[in-house]
Structure 1
């Protein structure tokens, strides 16, 4: 099984692209979903955020106020760095175990929806291919304002906090231009799925995994035989 990274800018339409993959039976592991999971009340990251940022970023029932925290970190690079240091290890741990589950289910490949793929750099070495979703800058801004009921100045601040779309596209294996119709975007994604399904990379990875498992099994058998011989030697000395 190989992993395909899906990223882009905020408001470019990654969710639309991810949904096409799901329609074709391809698992999509969403880092944003994992991010919500790891900050649930009582979780390790929840405690660390409370200690670092205080009660003002939590609601009365103890849940994380994502909007309040977002306003705080998008105005302060250092606070954003501290939050990432708290949450990212927990998010990647969740993604890892979800990927392991998909591997044993026999999937050829999976998609990881990673909004900050290039900004964090943590997953780049584990990805076989990278897809970047982009759109016209004015459209990105308008989508973000409409989706989050956000002012133009706040929306621009959120966009500016991420790596420029042009830079992300330069580092991608596939680029989905999401400025047109839903059908146009869908056709682009379907073509990418066809190319990914024609890849034989998953067989190489499975063969390597099989060799590792076989090596481990041989090592265990060898240790078992040596342990048995040692016990026999000890018994004969009695």
Structure 2
């Protein structure tokens, strides 16, 4: 069973992913893979530089995420250009890693994919689990986490499908506006249901 874990920015998906990992489930983390596929010398980084120019590189040749972020978060067109470069490279590595876990004997694999819904990656997974928080909680957490202004935080939240809409794509919804213990209890229940 491949489970797609998703949510919105600052929804607490990382907590859920970490908890599942602690329960012994292998995690394929799309964000980590997205960083790996744009390391210096990779084809994806070369394409990004060709598309956006040398200004998105740090002096050591690594991607300057903040510089690139300021370009793509302000323009849906630019964001789509970036996604057309990065997403295929990420998908290829995710499938490679999943095959390796299956060879090791794992039955259930968690695909931690923040933009699963936006990128229509449903074909990669058997079930979609959505981590949900209300927008005010999401906004507060994002401002606290990144030290961003309310406007900056709203801009980043609005770059994704609102969680209120996203939950319709979920086979399961993990409500994460309460305590970590309450969230953990929901996850434990979902894992029990998987084993039945």
TM-score by length of 1: 0.81
Bigger share in helix:
1
Distance in 2 (CA, whole Å) between partners of 1:137 and 1:7 is 16
Are residues 1:179 and 2:177 paired?
yes
* Alpha-carbon distance, 1:193 to partner: 1.1
- Residue 93 of structure 1 aligns to a residue whose secondary structure is helix
Q: Which runs of 4+ in 1 moved over 3 A?
A: none
- Residue 64 of structure 1 aligns to a residue whose secondary structure is coil
- Residue 117 of structure 1 aligns to a residue whose secondary structure is coil
Are residues 1:163 and 2:161 paired?
yes
Q: Structure 1: 5+ residue runs without aligned partners?
A: 199-238
Aligned to 1:51: 50
Residues 90-119 of structure 1: CA distance to partner in whole angstroms, max 9, x if unpaired? 000110110000111111110001111111
Distance in 1 (CA, whole Å) between partners of 2:148 and 2:63 is 20
The answer to whether the 8 A contact 2:118-2:160 is kept is yes
The answer to whether the 8 A contact 2:132-2:173 is kept is yes
Distance in 2 (CA, whole Å) between partners of 1:42 and 1:142 is 38
Distance in 1 (CA, whole Å) between partners of 2:157 and 2:74 is 12
The answer to whether the 8 A contact 1:21-1:193 is kept is no
* Alpha-carbon distance, 1:87 to partner: 0.3
Residues 159-207 of structure 1: CA distance to partner in whole angstroms, max 9, x if unpaired? 0010111111111111111111110111111111111222xxxxxxxxx
Distance in 2 (CA, whole Å) between partners of 1:126 and 1:135 is 25
User: Which is greater in Rg?
Assistant: 1
Distance in 2 (CA, whole Å) between partners of 1:66 and 1:147 is 17
The answer to whether the 8 A contact 1:7-1:131 is kept is yes
Distance in 1 (CA, whole Å) between partners of 2:70 and 2:46 is 20
- Residue 141 of structure 1 aligns to a residue whose secondary structure is helix
Aligned to 1:41: 40
* Alpha-carbon distance, 1:10 to partner: 0.5
